[in-house]
Amino acid sequence: MSDEGPLPQDNAAERLAKRRFALLQLVRLFCLGIVLVGAALYAQRIGESPASGAILLMAGTAGFFLLPRGLARRWKGERG
């Protein structure tokens, strides 16, 4: 085992990348929650409105795939 000394400090770009990655994961998790609530509504496990469940299912699925992509595009444009 070699002693490589102290670990290098994170630079600003690395901290920004970590925060952005965490935000992407939170967006995905939130949209997944919307999908699960929509599925429960659609299956009439909670409430009695399958139509609103279908809307939430579609919105959550679209958000899961499109919101992180849109955020990444916006962030890439900032480097410009």
Determine if the pTM surpasses 0.85.
no
Number of domains in the chain: 1
Q: Is residue 45 part of a domain?
A: yes
Q: Is residue 77 part of a domain?
A: no
Grouped pLDDT means (10 residues each) for the chain, 80 residues: 57 90 96 96 91 96 96 84
Domain housing 52: 35-67
Residues 34, 52 contacting (CB under 8 angstroms)? no
pLDDT for 1 equals 53
Q: Is residue 49 part of a domain?
A: yes
pLDDT tens-digit map of 41-58: 999 999 888 999 999 999
